Amino acid sequence: MSGYLCALRMAARDAARSKGRTALVLAMIGFPTTLIVMLAVLMRTAEPTRTVVAGEGEPVSEGAAVAETAIGALVVTMIVLQVVLLAGPSFVVDVRRRRRDLALVAAAGGEARHLRAVVLAGGLVIGGVAALGGAALGIAGSALAKPVIEAVNDDKLGPFRVPWGLVVITMLVAAGSGVLAALVPARQAARMDVVSALAGRRDPPGRARRGLPLLGGLLVVAGIGISLVGVRVMREFGAALGAAAIIIGLVMVCPAVVGASGRVASRLPLPLRLAVRDAARNRARTAPAVAAITAAVAAVTALAIGGASDFRQREIEYRPELPMGTTLVRMPMERADEVGRAVRADLAGVPVQTLKVLPYEEGSCDRAATPGCPSVLVAGKDDDGMREILLDNVVGGPREARLLLGRDDPAVSAALTAGKVVMFRSRPPASGTTTMRIQYQDGQGKGRVIRDVPAVAAAGEPHVRTIIPPAVAARTGLPLHTEAYGVDRADHRVTKAEESRLKTTISRYTPESELVYVERGFTESLDGVLLLLAGVAAALVLGGALISTGLAAADARPDLATLAAVGARPRTRRVLTMAQAVVVAGIGCWLGIAGGLVPGFAVTRPLTEDLEASDGSVPAHGAILDVPWLLLIAIGVVVPLVAALAAGMFTAGRLPMTRRAAG
């Protein structure tokens, strides 16, 4: 036991001494921990606390819950894989740097298990500190984010609750990932040649395992098959499972790819030639960083293709609910007059039209004013293909028609002036007349029929079934009620500031702020999501490239000294480091892009395919594929160049001296 306590003390002292490396590993393990804890706390806080009455609400299918859990497990697995692959090379750097100290431990009687314990203790100490710090930052960050989310969404999340079970599990996973990252370096330390380490000689590179690339290739092929075929049965889960298989397969293939890259080194310029050969000769330290970059970029590529295709589907399927620039404000029936005065006060000087309606089946009912909740149904309409209805049985004339249609329609205006009911998305009445049926929802009144009502059918889709002239509405004997207030685009275009002010005003009467609607067309943007994905990919690529170049710099001091001895210029070290960063980042990025294409293509089918349109508003279509090529090119070209510049900035230009002659 005392030996292991000594290993922990050595690990803690070394972590405190190597502040830069320790901070880097803490960030790599602690940042994902912080994000997972924040998401867990916010999701638990957002869960409703009320008891759901049996038979009410939207039931969640068991299959959907299982798929969601499985996808969450895959995400956590990918995060752990990233942490291990990125943090692993940093522990390899530490073992290279501490070879002499570890050799002295072995020379003093330490066994192989003691050397393993020293390295694993470093992973446990750093992983444990990162887990504690990440969990604390996650809880604090979610507490700070809660009021911001409530202010942005204008909705209360509920009492702040921490899922301690999930937090503890996340901390254990984080600490365990630190130990896993140190596992391979610990085995290398246990097998090192003590005499060579004390003499300052490097160990010869180990032999590559031929079976690992073969198994990785089989996993890649299996992942492609699962992605293409599994989406037909498991939908998005099939694509996620296929992506996981492809990523794990590529991770296994990376050492062979890095080794094979050395065969083309002779055709490259000198800095790239040296960098490629160094990477191929030292696959043990280069391949994990390349694999981490590959896994991250593959996941980002699949997510980017799926997100861009889904966005493209929403753009294609978007249909305006009102004429472009028209505003409609709906409100609770019992406070319609108050809302009307408030709307006119907010839009001072703007013509605000009052839209009155006869009661209709889908509308609200004021039982005090209209006992029995009557509704008027105009017969003869063909509802096939009718999109969502905003209003029905609007009572008015040409002015109301212009607001709802967005234009002056002479035929509609003439019909309304002549006292004819105008019906939309309907077959023209053969006799030029229609029937209005009055019925009561609770059976308290006696239904009746008004026949021979003049009517015409008009073109256009104003999301209104009928416009009824006031004279015809009076024949029903039913009171009119105010359903909405509208602003014609020909009179005024409501600005975003005015829209925000209207929503604030309406929120005093009802929590449903979506009752204020201004038609602005399709205004969604994918730029923020793509920038976020690009930022995540760039951060992971930079981390992997800098770790790999740091390890290369630690290993290559004798080579750099040889270059200095033969007359290399001082900037050679910086150029060589930049070339190493380009090689690591370039191989990882392009492997990742290739690995993410197939899952990205596959996931577009369950996300965007619509073979059966629910109504006539959106035609049926197949899968929609939209590849964000600009993002992928930026990841494949710009990010490696940025990694090279960053590596060059943090590298000293002076070549090292390994020995100094006396005198």
Is 555:260 a contact under the CB 8 Å cutoff?
A: no
Is 468:303 a contact under the CB 8 Å cutoff?
A: no
Lowest mean per-residue pLDDT among 198-212, 371-385, 391-405, 511-525? 198-212
Is 222:252 a contact under the CB 8 Å cutoff?
A: no
Is 423:380 a contact under the CB 8 Å cutoff?
A: yes
Whether the per-residue pLDDT at 531 is higher than 70: the answer is: yes
Query: How open is the CA angle 506-510-513, to the nearest 5 degrees?
Result: 55
Beta bridge partners of 487: 327
The DSSP letter of residue 391 is B
Q: Which residue has the tokens 């150029």?
A: 575
Mean pLDDT computed over every residue of the chain = 79
- Give the pLDDT of residue 594: 92
Is 483:497 a contact under the CB 8 Å cutoff?
A: no
Q: Which band of pLDDT confidence, cut at 50, 70 and 90, is reported for residue 2?
A: low
Residue 175 one-letter amino acid: A
Whether the per-residue pLDDT at 602 is higher than 60: the answer is: yes
**Distance (Å, rounded) from C-alpha 84 to C-alpha 50?**
41
**pLDDT tens-digit profile of 78-97?**
667 767 777 777 777 777 77
Q: Which residue has the tokens 């090379």?
A: 89
- Give the pLDDT of residue 61: 47
**Distance (Å, rounded) from C-alpha 509 to C-alpha 219?**
59
CA 427 to each of CA 48, 198, 430: distance values in angstroms, whole numbers, following the listed order: 47, 95, 9
**Distance (Å, rounded) from C-alpha 129 to C-alpha 120?**
14
Q: Which residue has the tokens 């049996």?
A: 54
CA 210 to each of CA 16, 204, 223, 376: distance values in angstroms, whole numbers, following the listed order: 39, 18, 21, 78
C-alpha neighbours within 13 Å on the C-beta side of residue 175: 15
Q: Which band of pLDDT confidence, cut at 50, 70 and 90, is reported for residue 655?
A: low
CA 441 to each of CA 101, 393, 436, 483, 610: distance values in angstroms, whole numbers, following the listed order: 88, 17, 16, 19, 36
- Give the pLDDT of residue 161: 86
Q: By CB neighbour count within 10 A (0-12 exposed, 13-18 middle, 19+ buried), where does 54 fall? A: exposed
Mean pLDDT of 503-517: 78
**Distance (Å, rounded) from C-alpha 431 to C-alpha 454?**
9
- Give the pLDDT of residue 52: 39
The DSSP letter of residue 60 is P
**pLDDT tens-digit profile of 533-588?**
888 788 878 877 877 777 676 666 666 677 767 776 767 777 888 888 899 889 99
Lowest mean per-residue pLDDT among 307-311, 420-424, 444-448? 444-448
- 278: tokens are 């160094």
Query: How open is the CA angle 595-255-287, to the nearest 5 degrees?
Result: 85
Whether the per-residue pLDDT at 201 is higher than 90: the answer is: no
Whether the per-residue pLDDT at 426 is higher than 70: the answer is: yes
Query: How open is the CA angle 85-88-89, to the nearest 5 degrees?
Result: 100
Beta bridge partners of 438: 376, 448
Q: Which band of pLDDT confidence, cut at 50, 70 and 90, is reported for residue 442?
A: low
Mutual angle of helices 527-555 and 283-317, in 10-degree steps:
180
**Distance (Å, rounded) from C-alpha 470 to C-alpha 417?**
10
Is 149:59 a contact under the CB 8 Å cutoff?
A: no
- Give the pLDDT of residue 51: 39
- Give the pLDDT of residue 136: 93
Give a three-class secondary structure readout of 61-113. Answer: CHHHHHHHHHHHHHHHHHHHHHHHHHHHHHHHHHHHHCHHHHHHHHHCCCCHH
Lowest mean per-residue pLDDT among 57-66, 113-122, 577-586, 590-599? 57-66
**pLDDT tens-digit profile of 28-71?**
788 888 888 888 888 888 765 443 333 444 444 444 454 455 55
Question: Per-residue DSSP letters for 607-656?
Answer: HH-BSS-SSTTS--B-------HHHHHIIIIIHHHHHHHHHHHTS-SSPP
Mean pLDDT of 615-634: 78
Mean pLDDT of 167-175: 87
**Distance (Å, rounded) from C-alpha 283 to C-alpha 540?**
20
Strands across the sheet containing 421-424: 374-378, 433-440, 448-458, 421-424, 466-468, 394-395, 353-357, 481-487, 327-330, 516-518
Mean pLDDT of 607-621: 62
Cα dihedral across residues 247, 259, 198, 194: positive or negative: positive
User: Left, alpha or beta for 537 (phi > 0: left; psi -120 to 50: alpha)?
Assistant: alpha
Q: Is the pTM of this model over 0.85?
A: no
Whether the per-residue pLDDT at 523 is higher than 80: the answer is: yes
Mutual angle of helices 572-608 and 236-261, in 10-degree steps:
160
- Give the pLDDT of residue 556: 65
**pLDDT tens-digit profile of 321-353?**
888 889 988 876 667 788 888 889 889 889 999
Residue 376 one-letter amino acid: V
